Structure 1
Amino acid sequence: MEETTEIVSDGGDEAAPAAVTMDVENGLIEEEKNMDGEVAPALISIHPFEKSVVVAVGSELRLFNLEGNCSVSLIDDPSGPSHSDAIRSINFGASGKFLASAGDDKLVKIWETSSWHCIHTVSADKRVSAVAISHSGRYAAFADKFGVVWLVGLDEDDAKQTKVDKKAVPILGHYCSIITRLEFSPDERFIASADRDFKIRITVFPKLPLKGAHEIQSFCLGHKDFVSCFAFACPPGCAHGFLFSGSGDSTVRLWDFISGLLLATCEVGAMVGSLQYNGTEDGYPPVTDLCISSDGSIIAVAIQSLRGIVLLSCGFSDRTLSVAKVVTLEDNYFPTSMVLSSLTQRLWMVMGASNLPTLSATQLPTRIRVMSGFHKDPSDYNGHDPITLEDNEVPGGKKLLSELQGSFDVAMEEAALAAAAAAVKASMRNMLIKKEYALERREMRKRNRNDRKLR
């Protein structure tokens, strides 16, 4: 029996209810179509020993081997599906043995980096928003947009096989909230997960994790908007380390993640100043990404609409967090993803987007910048800024840039990069800021949920 929407009328057309129902349903269908074409930011990840660099643009993975100074073609498993929609997360394991990629096509793919073969393809029930590999390389965890974290084993026997559809098991959940970031602690005792409902959960990673991770160590609560990013840091002499997090509330916060205690807050948006941003903002713009050296001596932060990065200074002993330096880049360059090489202390940045309606796949505006010359003592930045490398100074040189950036009409470059920045901004807002619906609209959406439809 078909379900209909009851509409109170004062004597109007009797056909109106059916018409309104149809319009609402058509609107939902159109909304789903718009979601399928949702803009996705370009991502970058680097091998922990800087052997290779990977950039994800849309459904495409671009790989450059720094040791061989050549591009590499990934070898997908012919018996399994390939990425067909926007990749939302890429992550190397701590040993560099595996790379994981996942995204809107509900696929999680594990790549073995010595041969660049896909050794596992996992099909998820929902779109995947985050992926991480444990430091031991034994497990890959991923989170879907329904708020569930799943785990799949990557032991040696499995890694030697190239079969697809390896089964994943759910280990924890965030109660229907989109998980934005997922990471294992350096000692692999915990798995941290953050969501758009302002919270960070620290979960004990058990000895038999495939049976579930049921023990919550702590919640890190204090952000006033979605948590966009976080990273662990272990300064010398610290037994467990600390956690840094960035948010849509334009702050970076320092946590004792064992207890969930907030140690320090830096209002990066307010401290950098509204004059630094491109265009007008409703309040201060969100923190989009951050990356940290393993000892916490280098803390780089990207803020939406800021053409550059912010370097923070952290006093772990006295629990302070402050802005040390704002490093500006060229006009219309707003990093969408960053990664810091622990080996060379070089900061790799990418700016770009996919699914832009005005550009074809071959014209996607993707630009890489590399920065070096960081100092462990923040006071050394006085008069000595980090250096943005010229194209011919980047490891791999112009050959790397041509392979990872792609190419498009130079005359379109500035306009295309500006369009990409605006599109990524709108996309982040649509995905992470919770929408409010009228009661009738909410009930109609519930009735039309994909998982409620008869198959």
Structure 2
Amino acid sequence: MEDNNMEESEQKLEIEVAPALITVHPAQESVSVAVGSNLRVFNLKDGCGVKLIDENGGHKDSIRAIRYSKSGHLLVSAGDDKLVKIWGTNSWRCVHSVVSEKRVSALAISNDGMFVCFADKFGVVYVVDIGGDYDFENAAVAKKKAFPILSHYCSIITRLEFSPDGRYIVSADRDFKIRVTLFPKKPENGAHEIHSFCLGHTEFVSCLAFVSSKDYPNGFLVSGSGDSTVRLWDYASGSLLDTCDVGAEAGNLHSNGKQEDILSAVTDLCATSDGSLVAVAIQSLPGIMLLKCKLYSRTLSVAKVVHVAGETFIPTSLGASSSVPLLWMVMGASSSNIHDFESLARVRVVSGFTTTNDSESLVSEKLVLADKEVPGGEPLLQALQGKLTIGKEAFVMAAEAVQTSMRNLLIKKQYSAERREFRKRGRNDKKNQTID
């Protein structure tokens, strides 16, 4: 009876809520939002929502990662249904569907569009050779085989990124590690050469972004974490260059004895094309924080906190194109267990997300656009949000649920010896061995 009670309480604690995600076409020709199993796309060139074509009916469970290729010719989505779907952005047809052994937690696309990499919740990174993204409209729908290339050994991988020059694939996990691996010429044979580790975070690493410019083409790495810091790295050597305590700067460190109130996790990062400005989404911060990134001096500093007036808006994901000075934000969540905010999403846009300098004047011009000023206007919001007006209470509930779910998923739990034995007995592989 005691074991049953423990199991029920643990299941309630570990209800997983999927945060809403956003990604923007490199030339801002389209914007995509994922909420639960729904993948919503708005075509800004044609001014209308997109109907995705998939012979297999799309995703069946929560989407955990979405990404455009550097050329914008393809969009990739993956998630809890163990599927990686590759879409051509001209026809919006699913041209490849890849089956993963486990639920997918992160993905990345090589700069040349030749390879899609994805990671599962057991810490294994796989590669799929898609042959480039130049002829997707004429490609036959096919199931591609994925090959394992590296592993973090049973640690959930939270983010994957390719370096600006394409030489390295960088992977982050819940065990505070950032691994820089040389991406091989023949990935199907595995990626065995670890170039460096970036170690210094004291909680799970939640997000990564590269900052680069013409003067610094290989750039540097920026990471966000559950320890409420954003850190700047020389990823080639693994050296920590600077640390910005964004939680303290945002006024979010106020302890009442509960761990959740002590640290506000960084949930996402997005950098301008020249690497001079980094937008930071922080749990419990109603808006975003903008950081100045000075590549020549290798420093990070807070430039401004941009609040969203009139509503509770705590972004769960950020996105930007490489050519338009707009920062796209989405707040939302989906859970089959909590129907009050299933498939909820709210999209907001910040203007002036572009080159900055030492003057505060450029930073002070950043503002949140009104809905009618957002590119695509009401049709875009209708397509990406599902509806135009959403109650304040639903946003508050969604923000709290996402925060709790993220900590339950990524904060490593400590179990007693008895509890560990009980969990082992309940594992599916152990059950199968008993049956055999």
Normalised by the size of structure 1, how large is the TM-score?
Answer: 0.88
For 1:133-166, what per-residue CA distance to the aligned partner results, in whole angstroms no more than 9, with x for missing partners?
Answer: 1110100000000000000011159954434432
Alignment match, 2:365: 385
Q: 1:383 & 1:119 partners in 2: Cα distance?
A: 42
- Whether contact under 8 Å (2:267, 2:281) holds in the other structure is yes
Alignment match, 1:402: 382
AA paired with 2:247? G
AA paired with 1:368? V
What are the equivalent positions in structure 2 for 1:186-265 lying under 5 Å apart?
Answer: 186-265=164-243
Tell me: CA distance 1:113–1:247, structure 2 relative to 1, closer, same or farther (3 Å).
Answer: same
- Whether contact under 8 Å (1:325, 1:381) holds in the other structure is no
Alignment match, 1:309: 288
- Whether contact under 8 Å (1:327, 1:385) holds in the other structure is no
Alignment match, 1:40: 18
Shift of 1:439: 1.0
1:339 aligns with 2:319: yes
1:94 aligns with 2:85: no
- Whether contact under 8 Å (2:318, 2:328) holds in the other structure is yes
3-state DSSP of counterpart to 2:395:
helix
Per mean C-alpha deviation after superposition, the further-off stretch among 309-318 and 344-353 is 309-318
Unaligned runs of 5+ in 1: 1-18
3-state DSSP of counterpart to 1:332:
coil
- Whether contact under 8 Å (1:276, 1:306) holds in the other structure is no
Per mean C-alpha deviation after superposition, the further-off stretch among 437-446 and 335-344 is 437-446
Shift of 1:66: 0.2
Shift of 1:236: 2.4
1:286 aligns with 2:240: no
Alignment match, 2:394: 416
- Whether contact under 8 Å (1:339, 1:348) holds in the other structure is yes
3-state DSSP of counterpart to 1:352:
strand
What are the equivalent positions in structure 2 for 1:47-446 lying under 5 Å apart?
Answer: 47-76=25-54, 78=55, 80=56, 82-155=58-131, 159=136, 160-274=138-252, 281-330=260-309, 331-355=311-335, 357-359=337-339, 364-374=343-353, 375-381=355-361, 384-407=364-387, 410=389, 413-446=391-424
Shift of 1:34: 7.5
AA paired with 1:271? E
Tell me: CA distance 1:73–1:34, structure 2 relative to 1, closer, same or farther (3 Å).
Answer: farther
Q: 1:358 & 1:427 partners in 2: Cα distance?
A: 12
- Whether contact under 8 Å (1:324, 1:378) holds in the other structure is no
For 1:412-441, what per-residue CA distance to the aligned partner results, in whole angstroms no more than 9, with x for missing partners?
Answer: 610001111111111111111111111122
AA paired with 1:272? A
3-state DSSP of counterpart to 1:254:
strand
AA paired with 2:176? F
- Whether contact under 8 Å (1:118, 1:162) holds in the other structure is no
Alignment match, 1:13: none
- Whether contact under 8 Å (1:130, 1:144) holds in the other structure is yes
What RMSD, in angstroms, separates the aligned Cα atoms of the two structures? 2.4
AA paired with 2:273? S
Higher-Rg structure is 1
AA paired with 1:263? L
- Whether contact under 8 Å (2:169, 2:183) holds in the other structure is yes
AA paired with 1:90? I
Aligned length: 427
For 1:229-283, what per-residue CA distance to the aligned partner results, in whole angstroms no more than 9, with x for missing partners?
Answer: 0111212222521000011111111100000010111111112223899xx8532
Identity %: 57
